[in-house]
Amino acid sequence: MSHPVLVVGSVALDSVETPFGRADDALGGSGTYFSASASHHTRVQLVGVVGSDYPVDQLQVLASRGVDLAGVERAEGESFRWRGRYRHDLNTAETLETRLGVFSHFRPKIPAQFRRAKYVFLGNIDPRLQLDVLDQVEKPALVGCDTMNFWIESRRPDLLALLKRVDLITLNDAEARQLTEEANLVKAARWILAHGPRTVIIKKGEHGAFMFHADRVFFAPAYPLESVFDPTGAGDSFAGGFMGYLAQTDDLSEANMRRAVVMGSVMGSFVVEGFSVKRLLEITPNDIAARMAEFHRLVTFDATVA
């Protein structure tokens, strides 16, 4: 049976510069990208805050895709704004400015109808807010979280407290190294596993993603795209595809979690083809199925050794 997925995350206005162009005050944020991606798989319950300057009518595109916005609060003040730049290495975002705005006084209030969510994702925001959300939900079957360098530097103790309370974490290779102070990713994954989560997903941008459990590892490549316009949101769209697919299928077996990792890669591969959430709003179930099949062709080989 398909379940909704509850997500808390930033609902932002992003200004992004890439070698191919720029966008100013575009729809962004971890909660926004996650929701747009997961909405292709299941219903989404979004929790976040926007300021009085937010073009809320633009969020209606999410509502029309089955994202319940009852948990998106509108507060007096400026919206969260992120300004970033990518140079020729499209795997690394350079943060030029982070303005927390209304996020600095935000206390998430999970609407009563969201509290029994079976699948919960704590998108990249202040770990104190991620912990706050966990205190308000009743026994989810799977809690995943994400984070980034900004929070690893400024909120390490809270992040370590959060790790003890989640089942799964997604982070990129640089974040894994920064969090664990281990240069080797296998050792970094072991360090994280020893601090709480039973599943650790380490994403390596255009080089794919690893899923680590205590006794096994799975690897999925990234789709070899010829044109990447804007990598912003790839991580959150990966998480949306991964969690959305798990909530849709309600199956946490190893085989299904592997499929979910590939679904994460599929969704990440779409979002980077355009600025902001544009591509996530255009693609169809057929596009997703076709790219899933492409992934299968990409990694299938005959392991018989002559």
Chain positions contacting ligand AMP, by CB under 6 A: 10, 12, 14, 28-30, 33, 82, 98, 124-125, 148, 150, 232-236
What's the full length of the chain, in residues? 306
CB of 255 to ligand AMP, least distance (A): 26
In the complex, minimum distance from the CB of residue 301 to ligand AMP, in angstroms, rounded to a whole number: 31
- Of 150 and 218, CB closest to ligand AMP: 150
- Least distance in Å: CB of 84 to ligand AMP? 7
CB of 95 to ligand AMP, least distance (A): 6
Cα 101 from chain centroid (whole Å) = 21
Classify 175 in phi/psi space as left (phi over 0), alpha (psi -120 to 50) or beta: alpha
Burial class (CB in 10 A: 0-12, 13-18, 19+), 189: buried
Inter-residue contact 206 to 182 (CB < 8 Å): no
Asked whether the beta carbons of 169 and 195 are under 8 A apart, the reply is no
Which is closer to ligand AMP, CB of 10 or CB of 249? 10
Using the minimum distance from each CB to ligand AMP, give the nearer residue, 150 or 213.
150
Of 98 and 136, CB closest to ligand AMP: 98
Say if CB 15 and CB 81 are below 8 A apart. Answer: yes
Cα(101)–Cα(42) distance, integer angstroms: 30
In angstroms, give the least distance from the CB of 208 to ligand AMP.
Answer: 16
Which residue, 73 or 250, is less far from ligand AMP as judged by CB? 73
